[in-house]
Each structure stands twice: as structure tokens, then as C-alpha cells.
Structure 1
Amino acid sequence: MLVADVMLNLSQSKKKGLSLEEKRTRMMEIFFETKDVFQLKDIEKIAPKTKGITPMSVKDVLQSLVDDNMVDCERVGTSNYYWAFPSKALNTCKHKLEELQTQISEAKQRKVSVQKAVEKATVGREDTEERGALLKELQALKEERTRLQAELEKYRECDPEVIEDMRKSNVVAKEAVSRWTDNVFAIKSWTKKKFSFDDSRIDKAFGIPEDFDYMD
């Protein structure tokens, strides 16, 4: 029965194709079983035949193992050589396990801290009748404040500060009008002397109304 199950699993693996993790595991078996040093071309020959790893994926799988420090790689001359021993893999696994255990421990500590913070924050916020009444009163006060602010906005024009700002703005506007009036009068005088135009002709050219009073 056990042999039949193994054969069935192998058959299913061939049909579905190997996952990346399965390919990595099988490639590590090559190094552990042979305890030898290989070049890439050697692995590309061995892996498809003995472990069912597709030739196109051999290089990527091998590089992923090197990146994870599970397979050693060293360049000698123009060639790269790869090897991995069970003792190194065991140490790597132990180191990874220690890292994960540390992360789990830190996560547990953070969880405890968060739980304490939540418990502290909920003190005094229990759903009691008194708290419900206070929340209703708070909401009513907020609505009253909004209403009063809207009411106050209606009388903003009577605000002494607003009136003072308007007065200052009027003074500035009046001074600006006076400057432009002086400018127009100066240009009119210059044009009258330069071209001997009469006032009505100059006023018409500048679009000045006939009843415009320069002294206003």
C-alpha cells in the first residue's frame, strides 16, 4: 500500500509539475547524496535525469539556493563551482529557525503590549447609562455650538474688527482712485499742450464722461 501511494504521488507530481520548493529540495539532494563539487553544466545534466527538474529551470533554482546561502559558490578561473554539505544546511536551518523564533517572541511581546494598551484605553468607556447620557449631552452641545456659530456669522458685518478692516480698505481704495485721477489729469494736460486739443476732444478720446468732476 505504501509503495502504491509513493508511485501515485510521483505520478501526480509529474503531471502537475514540481513547485519551486520541490525543485529546491530535490536539487539539495544532489549535493547531499554525492557530497561533490559541480559546475553549472554538471547540474544541468544531473538534475533533469535524476530529480525530474526541467532543464530550463535548473539555473534559476540553483541561483535561488545560492542566494539563500544554502549552496556555496566560488569562481575559479572562468568557471563557477557549486557545493553544499549537510552540516552547512543544518546550521543554516538552525539560524533561520532562531530568527523565526526571535520574530515570534517579539510578535508575542507586541501583542501583549497592544492588549494592555487596549485594556487601558477602554477603562472608563464601558457602556453604562451615565456614559450614554454624557455622550448625548456632548452631541447636543456640539449641535448647539454649530447653531451659534451660524448665528454669529449672520452678524459678522457688525463686528468692530470687520468694520475697521472695511474702513482701512476704503481709505486705500480712495487713495488709489485719487492717484489715477491725478494721472488722468496729468495726461490730459500734457495732451492738450502737445496737440492743442480742446477738453471735449480729449475727454472723448479717453472715454471720460462729460459730467466727470476731477475734484470729487
Structure 2
Amino acid sequence: MPSRGMSAEDKRITVLAMLHESREPWLLKDVEKAASKRGVVIQAVKDVVQSLVDDDLVHVDKIGTMNWYWAFPGEATNKARAALEAAESTKAQMDAEIAALAKGVAEEKKKNPVTAEHEEMSAGLSQARELNQKLHVELETFSSSNPETVDAMRQGAKISKQAANVWTDNVFMMKSWAENKMGDKEQVAQFFKTEGINLNTFDYIE
């Protein structure tokens, strides 16, 4: 079985180590020759060197018509350390921001403890909505019924309408209570809107 070639990362490590060891500038053709002796395919050396330049691990300067490449041993370690410190600083900053946001949310909840009130209003609105749906079903049935059942259903519809208007009273009472409790009419209107009730059009059944 033929031996497996070097991986791309192994090639980078080999070339970079070679430049670190020499501590001198190299021409690309010399890098290719030396790297090929260490197992890097000569045709791949140019791309390997360019990848190291792109990652700022190898420096290149053009002197005259020729490019010279070099790298210092301590630079890679220093760059890694700087990157780690920057990452740690960013993490610390993000942790501080998250803590500040959490504190702000907690303080806001203390100033505006409306969770229980919202639940109470939601429960009342759910009951009103269920009754409203029941009324719509009855009215649809009423409109499609034969004459023999009209009188009986008219009485049932009247009772349902009265019950619906009682719940409409409850909705308006909850609206007034919430506005007095929260002191913010827009917030109350938004709450009812999210529950499917537009206070601008919500009214009694005639």
C-alpha cells in the first residue's frame, strides 16, 4: 500500500518550522527545494507559503524583482496569545452586558409586576371569546333553520346575546381596571390587541 501524503496542515507546519529554524529571508525557489527534501511536494510549496502569508505567519517583502520570505519563531506564539487575550476580553465584555441586561429585566419586573394581572385578564378574555364563538354558531344555525324551530331558537339566541353583552361588560371593566393598575392605556390596548380584541371596534351586540 502506498504511503499517504502529508496533509495540508502538516505541510504548513513543515514549511513554517523550516523558516523559523533559519531565521533568514528565503527566495521562493529555495523554499521549494528545501521543503521538498522534508516531504512537501514541490508543486504545493507556493500555495503553502501563500497560505502562511495570508494568515500573517510568514512575512514577504519585494526587493527589486524578487520576493523574500521570512518568519520569526516567537511571532506565532505572540499572535496566538494576543488572539486568546482578545477573545477573553470579548467574552468578559459580553458576560458583563448579559449580566446588565438580566439585572435590567429583573428591575423592570419589580417595577411592573403585571404577570398575574395579565393572566387574570387572559382568563376572562378566553371565557368571553368562547362564549362569543358559541353565539356565532347559534346565530348561523338560527339563520339556516326551518320555520318550526325559529321561535325556540330566537329565545335561545336572545339569551346568548344577553350573556355575550354581560361578558362585553366584563371586558370593558377589565380594561378600566388594567388602565388604573398599569397607568398606561397604550400598553393595555396592546395587550387586548394581542388577545385578538381591537378596543377601537369592540362593542356590544345589538
Q: Compute the TM-score of the two structures, normalised by the length of structure 1.
A: 0.48
Kindly indicate whether structure 1 or structure 2 has the higher relative contact order, using CA contacts under 8 Å at least 6 residues apart. 2
Larger Rg: 1
Q: Compute the TM-score of the two structures, normalised by the length of structure 2.
A: 0.50
